Amino acid sequence: MSAVKFISHVEQNNNGGWQIKLTDTFDDTSVVCKDLEQYKEKLEDMGSEYGNDIEVQWTRAKDLSPLHIEELQEKMAKLQEEYQKDIDDMNNKKDEQVNNSGGFNPND
């Protein structure tokens, strides 16, 4: 099975802000996320049903203000930095486990 496609559509909400409508195109279900933290949780939850083998396509409403676009991009950049830090931490732990395994070392 190939990756399941999710659509993340950014649109204006009724309060003058933005929201993300997350749609699973395989079973055609959607949830509305009011912020990136909620989006992250829903994406992880929905993606876990497919072993996180998902592809995310971003779209935006034509009436989304440039201010909202900029705000969302800044928040997403921070979130990406957090993910990268988590990935780096996990990779460092794996390296430490390999280096401290006490197993065969061809350099000894």
Q: Where are the beta strands (DSSP E) in the chain?
A: 4-12, 18-24, 29-33, 54-60
Distance CA 4, CA 94 (A): 29
* Boundaries of every domain in the chain: 4-72
How many beta carbons lie within 10 A of that of residue 61, not counting itself?
Answer: 14
What are the per-10-residue average pLDDT scores of the chain (108 residues)?
89 92 95 93 92 91 92 87 78 68 50
Q: What is the pLDDT of residue 108?
A: 47
Residue 54: beta bridge partners? Answer: 4
60 burial level (CB within 10 Å; 0-12, 13-18, 19+): middle
pTM here is 0.73
Residue type, 28: D
Q: What is the pLDDT of residue 97?
A: 65
